[in-house]
Structure formats: C-alpha cells, structure tokens
Amino acid sequence: MEPRRIAIVVPEHKSKERIDIFLSREIANVSRSQIQKWIKNGAITVDQKSVKVNHSVKPFERIDITIPTSNPHDLIAESIPLDIVHEDAGLLVINKPAGMVVHPAYGHATGTLVNALLAHGSRLSQENTMERPGIVHRLDKDTSGLLVVAKDDFVHRELARQFSEKTTRREYVALVWGKMPNPKGTIETFLSRHPKDRKRISVSGTGKKAVTHYRVEKRYSFLTFLKLRLETGRTHQIRVHLAHIGHPVFGDQTYGGRSRQLAGLNRKQTILAVELLERLPRQALHAKTLGFVHPITGKEVNFDSDLPEDLRGALEALDRIDGKRTDPVLTGPEQPCKRSRSNPF
C-alpha cells in the first residue's frame, strides 16, 4: 500500500518554532521523537527541501510528510468480543466499550478495535493507512459508544464526506461537575494541540473551529447530566469545551474532572463523589446516537445505544441518593458563550 502523505502550510501569523515541536501538535498520535526520525530519514521536507530537526518554521512554508505504512502482516487479528449494533454489505456500526483504543498506534499495537475487526472476518476499506482499515472516525479510548466502520473504499469516502460536511448526527451524553445554570447552550471556540503537552487539546485563538451544542437533562446537587450534539468533530472536543466553561466531564483525569473537583463539597457530597469516581475510572462520556445517509441505499439511518453499565450505575446511585435534592431544569437564556447557529435542541 502507498505511504500516507500529508501537506501542511504554516499559518500566516505563526511565530518561530522548531519543526518537530510544531508537527507534534499538528499530527495526531505521533510523538516528537518519531517526527525527528522521519526528518532524519528524509520523509519530511520543507518547500521540497530536506531540513534538520532544529529547523524553525516560517509563515507560508509548505511541509510535506510521507508517513511510512507498516507491513500488513504487522496487524494481528485478535478474538475480542464486539458489540455489533448493525452490519450489512457496506458497513458495521459498533458500540465500542470504554478502555478500547480504536486503531493501532504508538504504544497500542494490540487489543484495538481494528484487531477485533480483523478477527471478525469482514473485509475492511483501505482508504486510510494500513493501520486503520475501515476506520472512518474515532472515539477516545475511555469514551464509550457508537462508531461506523466501512467495508469498502466507496462507502468509506461517502461517510467521510458526510462527516466533513457536518451532515451526520452525533449525540452524546455526559455527566459533568457542577450545576449548569441554563437549560441549553452552544460552545464555539478554536482548538489546537496544547503548546506544552501534545496529548492534550486546548482552547486557543487559532486552530480549528469547534462547535458543541448541549442541553441539560437533569441536575443533581453537585453534578449535571447533559445531552450533547456535535456540529464539528475535533479531537477531545466535548471534554475540552466542557472544561473550558468550568464543567469538566466527571472522571476525566486529563481535563480536571477527577479529585481536584472535590474541594468545596460538603461531607455527604464528598462521600458520594468518591464512590462515583470509584465506579467510573474514566470520563463519563458516551456516544449514544449516530445517524447518517447510508452510502449504498441512500436512505437516512439512525442508531441508538444503551448507556454502559458504569454510567448507568452512577446515574442510578445519584437518583437514589441525591435525586430528591435536585432542582428542575429552568427556562432562561442560554449559557453565555460564543454561539454559532441556533441550538438544535
């Protein structure tokens, strides 16, 4: 299979920065050390010329990256159970459990959804690199829920187009810290790789536009249960957006959703919060609904999934212990933040 090729043009107002640091933020799931190896091997050029790892990027430079593909035999088929919500001649819809990585990457060569799909026996599209057969979009390792897998390249391209044009329907549910004061809102920011930690995403003045709509489903004394709809699908988008407005996803270690939120709770709330954090060793975020136009039939299809056991158990505990102290969802203005189009909820 041909190597994957990426072209990046340095933004007009980009300040001086080493190329390996710059690219480690721009390319997902690739370490700075790996980028340095590609530069030394000639896989990365700037304006069609080889550079050294300490090259400083300048506005309007064109960076071409040729990402080597692994030997297809490097991918191992593993007999891992799959929760298949739907399967037909063109695609599968999978309910991914929390803890499963979607595709092999650095540090995750086995145990991924791709390894499980290979053992399932279905053919998979080759539109992506060899390490990502069939993968049209992704969910974070510790986010559970629905994603679609393409069996051939035509289906893959058509689904990718729908994701790119924002015509798919993607709804999530999340348990977040704090009592959100307004019944619904829209969060709109620009997101980019964190300048000091490449594994994190941050809100910035530049980067890619990201839009998240939310609606309050239920309030508890110190938590809120939300429904969210993505207008865009950026890496860690929901997690970063909710942390940005002061309501990080419950259990989210990366974006401030675990023990640091315990300060300020009373004794009963603290005991309950600690119990819930033990139930949920991951972020309380689930991709519940997925809809798109089927590339083969041309008909709109929608899929829904039940809440996973850990999140369902946490909500049941909240309803039992904390439910009587909740207040109803109030009417009023939306959460004050930059908005795009009207909230679809």
What are the catalytic residues?
140
Q: What is the rounded CA–CA span in Å between residue 41 and residue 25?
A: 20
Task: Determine the angle formed by the axes of helices 19-26 and 32-40, rounding to 10 degrees.
Answer: 120
Strands (E), the chain: 4-9, 17-18, 44-46, 49-50, 56-57, 62-67, 84-87, 91-96, 144-150, 169-177, 184-193, 201-204, 208-219, 223-230, 285-293, 300-304
Question: Among 235, 32, 277, 21, which residue's Cα sits nearest to residue 141?
Answer: 235
Q: What is the rounded CA–CA span in Å between residue 206 and residue 226?
A: 28
Rg of the chain's alpha carbons, rounded to an integer?
Answer: 21
CB neighbour list of residue 247: distance below 8 Å, 6 or more residues apart: 176, 177, 178, 180, 224
Q: What is the rounded CA–CA span in Å between residue 252 and residue 119?
A: 31
Question: Among 81, 87, 128, which residue's Cα sits nearest to residue 137?
Answer: 128
Burial class (CB in 10 A: 0-12, 13-18, 19+), 193: buried
Burial class (CB in 10 A: 0-12, 13-18, 19+), 301: middle
Q: 111-115 contacts: CB < 8 A, separation 24 or more?
A: 111/78, 111/80, 113/82, 113/149, 114/75, 115/75, 115/76, 115/77, 115/78, 115/80
